[in-house]
C-alpha cells in the first residue's frame, strides 16, 4: 500500500445517548471536524450507537446487526469524507436478552473493514456488564491498513489485560484503537492514562483511546506514541483531538527498544 505519512488519527470524545439519530449526528459533526484537521481515521467511544446508565434490558432491544442502519450510516459517512471511522456498536446476538459490545471499523469504500467484540467484560468496581453482554470469542484479531500502517481494535476493560494488546500486535498492528466507556471513580482517570501508556510502551506501538466525557466517563481521550508520549489529548470536554502517526517513528523506536524481538513468552488462550 502507498505510504501517506504522517497519517492523522483522531480521537472523538462525546457522550452517547439513547437517541441513535442524535448519536449519528454527533458522529457526523465530529468526523467532519476531524477530517478538516487532517485526520484519516476517527475513533469514537464504546457504545456510540446507544447508551443509558445504568445498563438495562433496553440495550438488547436497541441492538442492531452489522448490516443495520447504524453501521450503514457510518459506511456512508466514511465514503463521503474519505476517512476510516471506528465506533462502538450495540450489536444484536442470538440471545434476546444479551448483546455484543462491538467495535466496528468502516472505510471510505463504504464497507466494514474490521470488527472486534469485547472479550473481557466489565465485572468490576461494582459493575456487572456480563448480565447484559455476551463476551466476544477469542478469534484471531482483525486488522486493517491505512496509508501503509496496520490498525487493530480492542475495547475499554480489555486494557487491563496486556495479553489482548500483545496478541493484536502479534497480528501486525502498528496502531491500536481503543473505544471506551471508562467509568469515572477514585483513581480511574489515573488507571486509564497509565494503562493506555503502558500498552504503547511495552508493545512499541501507537495507542489511541476514545472515551466518554464526565459525568459518567473519565474523559482524557488521547493518542500516545510508541515511547509513551501523549501526542494529542482531551480533558473533560466533548471534542476531537488529532495526532499524526508515522512508520519512521515506529522503526526508530523499535531500533532503540527492540522489546518485541527480545521477549521470551508468547500468548496462549486460557481454556474455558
Spell out the alpha helix ranges (H) of 82-212. 162-170, 188-203
Within 8 A by CB and 6+ apart from 63, the residues are 50, 90, 91, 92, 93, 99, 100
What is the C-alpha separation between 52 and 23, in angstroms, rounded? 12
Catalytic residues: 46, 118, 156
What is the C-alpha separation between 33 and 241, in angstroms, rounded? 10
Question: 196 with 209: CB under 8 angstroms?
Answer: yes
SS3 17: coil
Please give the order of strands across the beta sheet that includes 206-210.
143-146, 149-153, 175-179, 206-210, 222-224, 230-233
Question: 42 with 83: CB under 8 angstroms?
Answer: yes
| C-alpha cell at position 22 | 442524535
The mean pLDDT value for 199-223 works out to 98
What is the C-alpha separation between 164 and 136, in angstroms, rounded? 12
Question: What pTM was computed for the model?
Answer: 0.97
| pLDDT tens string 215-240 | 999 999 999 999 999 999 999 999 99
The mean pLDDT value for 197-204 works out to 98
| pLDDT tens string 128-162 | 999 999 999 999 999 999 999 999 999 999 999 99
Question: 84 with 57: CB under 8 angstroms?
Answer: no
The mean pLDDT value for 189-204 works out to 98
What is the C-alpha separation between 207 and 222, in angstroms, rounded? 8
pLDDT at 4: 57
Amino acid at each position: 500500500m502507498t505510504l501517506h505519512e504522517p497519517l492523522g488519527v483522531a480521537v472523538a470524545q462525546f457522550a452517547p445517548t439513547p437517541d441513535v439519530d442524535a448519536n449519528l449526528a454527533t458522529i457526523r459533526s465530529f468526523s467532519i471536524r476531524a477530517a478538516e484537521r487532517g485526520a484519516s481515521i476517527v475513533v469514537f467511544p464504546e457504545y456510540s450507537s446507544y447508551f443509558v446508565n445504568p445498563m438495562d434490558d433496553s440495550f438488547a432491544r436497541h441492538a442492531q446487526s452489522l448490516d443495520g442502519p447504524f453501521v450503514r450510516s457510518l459506511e456512508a459517512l466514511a465514503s463521503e469524507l474519505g476517512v476510516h471511522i471506528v465506533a462502538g456498536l450495540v450489536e444484536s446476538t442470538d440471545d434476546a436478552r444479551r448483546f455484543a459490545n462491538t467495535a466496528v471499523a468502516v472505510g471510505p469504500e463504504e464497507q466494514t473493514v474490521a470488527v472486534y467484540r469485547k472479550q473481557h467484560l466489565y465485572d468490576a468496581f461494582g459493575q456487572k456488564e456480563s448480565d447484559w453482554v455476551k463476551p466476544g470469542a477469542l478469534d484471531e484479531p482483525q486488522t486493517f491498513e491505512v496509508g501503509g500502517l496496520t490498525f487493530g481494535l480492542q475495547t475499554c476493560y480489555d486494557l487491563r489485560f496486556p495479553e489482548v494488546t500483545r496478541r493484536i500486535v502479534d497480528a501486525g498492528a502498528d496502531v491500536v484503537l481503543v473505544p471506551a466507556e471508562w467509568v469515572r471513580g477514585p483513581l480511574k482517570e489515573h488507571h486509564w492514562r497509565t494503562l493506555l501508556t503502558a500498552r504503547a510502551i511495552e508493545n512499541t506501538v501507537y495507542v489511541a483511546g476514545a472515551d466518554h466525557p464526565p459525568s459518567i466517563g473519565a474523559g482524557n481521550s488521547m493518542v500516545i506514541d510508541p515511547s509513551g508520549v501523549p501526542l494529542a489529548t482531551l480533558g473533560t470536554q466533548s471534542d476531537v483531538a488529532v495526532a499524526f502517526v508515522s512508520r519512521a517513528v515506529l522503526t526508530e523506536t523499535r531500533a532503540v527498544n527492540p522489546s518485541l524481538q527480545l521477549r521470551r513468552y508468547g500468548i496462549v488462550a486460557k481454556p474455558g
